[in-house]
Copies of this chain bind each other. A is one copy, B any other.
Amino acid sequence: MSRLWDKGLPLDRQVLEYTAGEDHALDDRLVAYDVTASIGHAVGLHAAGLLSTADLETLRSALTLAGESHARGEWHVTLEQEDGQTALEQELTRRVGEVGGRIHLGRSRNDQVLTALRLYLKDAVSSLSTRTRQVADALDNVARRHADIVLPGYTHMQQAMPSSVALWAGGFAAEFRDDADGLAATLRRIDKNPLGSAAGYGTPGLPIDRDVSTHHLGFASSHHPVTAVQLSRGKAEAQVLFEISLLMIDAGRLAQDLLLFYTQEFAFVSLPSEFTTGSSIMPQKRNPDVFELIRGRTASANACLDEALGLIAKLPSGYQRDLQLLKVPLFRGIDLALQTLGILPTALDGVQFRPDNLRLDPAIHAAEEANRLVVSDGIPFREAYRRVASKLFPK
């Protein structure tokens, strides 16, 4: 087991790995947003008379170039740099020297990190919401493709009432659209500008108008008061992960239905061969791995939510380093949702219902028959129900 971690590292390296080991890789996805946020902050400093127009343009240009260079893969956040903020600062200083230092006025790591994160989240949530609607659209297509097929409707996993492929797919489509709306609604907590809260206690001595960067960056509002900013950490993240959990539960339940329909005993559907895999010892089998993994990732998404809530619970107010760990479940949850959403529409396009195998229990029309008796004979439902039952199951 010595391979696992005990590499005989010197102490400072061990501490570095423990404190920054995950961060630096995670921060790569935030660099572009940090560039945007930093320009927004520079604009705010300039408006407050704390940065000359020349310096602003120098910084804006250098930040833009640094971001483009990063997007081309020319540099990455390294472990030694610990985090994306340091990496960007070094890139900036390398390009413009001393002037690079002027951007740190009136800003702390705490508000810098959070601003980049929220800009990222706005994009992520929009992408999640859009893709979720694409899954709903794919379900609409399933309904259209099999418009005439009657399906048993189940309760308690028992045939209960007549349903249809259209109703089955339509129910899921509606819930995915509900998830898309839920994801979009997380913007309420995300869309607040943290810049100017600095370490959580503002920027005493500096005449900064926080609304300038808010307006420049397109945030809906500045986050007030400054002490609320760090207190709020984890809440927007958790809400995104909560909505991802609901989304993945819906996806997992859809998968569970398809896994059931794909058994030899139901045999209601065939699955596209690209989405099934062979067996190492059973030549006859085609396994529905993709749908099992969608079902399984329900649990992974839920664990991401648990982790985020667990991280912030019981913390004293003010920034705590624990909050840095939020990125791990947040990015993991977003990625697994995006991957699942990416694969679902194509998978659904390949699902074929097999009408020949759909056999409805004759008793499934009992409730409808009782309803009709009520309308035709004007008797109470309970009485109609008794008549139908006695016909179905004569003593």
Contacts and interface: CB of A to CB of B under 8 A. Distances in A.
Interface residues of A, number: 170
Nearest to A347: B15
Contacts of A98: 380
Interface string A94-128: 00001101101111111000000000000110110
Contact of A310 (B202, B283, B310): B310
Contacts of A252: 313-314
Interface stretch (A35-43, A60-68, A150-158, A209-217): A150-158
A277 interface: yes
B299 A303 contact: no
Contacts of A29: 3-4
A93 to B, nearest CB: 10
B15 A343 contact: yes
Interface string A72-83: 000000000000
A90 interface: no
A201 B163 contact: yes
Contact of A178 (B232, B280, B328): B232
Contacts of A12: 274
Interface string A232-249: 100100110010011001
Contacts of A107: 281
A332 B298 CA distance: 18
Contacts of A310: 298-300, 302-303, 310, 313
Interface string A10-23: 01101101110100
A133 interface: no
B325 A199 contact: no
B287 A158 contact: yes
Interface string A311-328: 111111111111111001
A156 B171 CA distance: 25
Contacts of A282: 155, 160-161, 199, 366-367
B257 A316 contact: yes
A111 to B, nearest CB: 10
A5 B293 contact: no
A289 B231 contact: no
Given A174-B225, A325-B297, A126 B1 contact: yes
A380 B266 CA distance: 36
A375 interface: yes
A205 B174 CA distance: 24
A85 to B, nearest CB: 8
A168 B200 CA distance: 10
A317 B105 contact: no
Contacts of A207: 375
Given A157-B316, A161-B201, 10 more contacts: A109-B280, A157-B262, A161-B198, A161-B199, A168-B227, A205-B371, A238-B245, A249-B313, A296-B325, A313-B314
The 5 closest A-B pairs by CB, nearest first: A171-B227, A299-B310, A296-B322, A284-B363, A283-B389
20 contacts: A1-B123, A12-B274, A14-B342, A15-B290, A17-B339, A18-B339, A157-B320, A161-B200, A161-B202, A170-B225, A172-B317, A204-B367, A238-B242, A254-B317, A257-B316, A265-B265, A281-B385, A292-B321, A305-B309, A314-B315
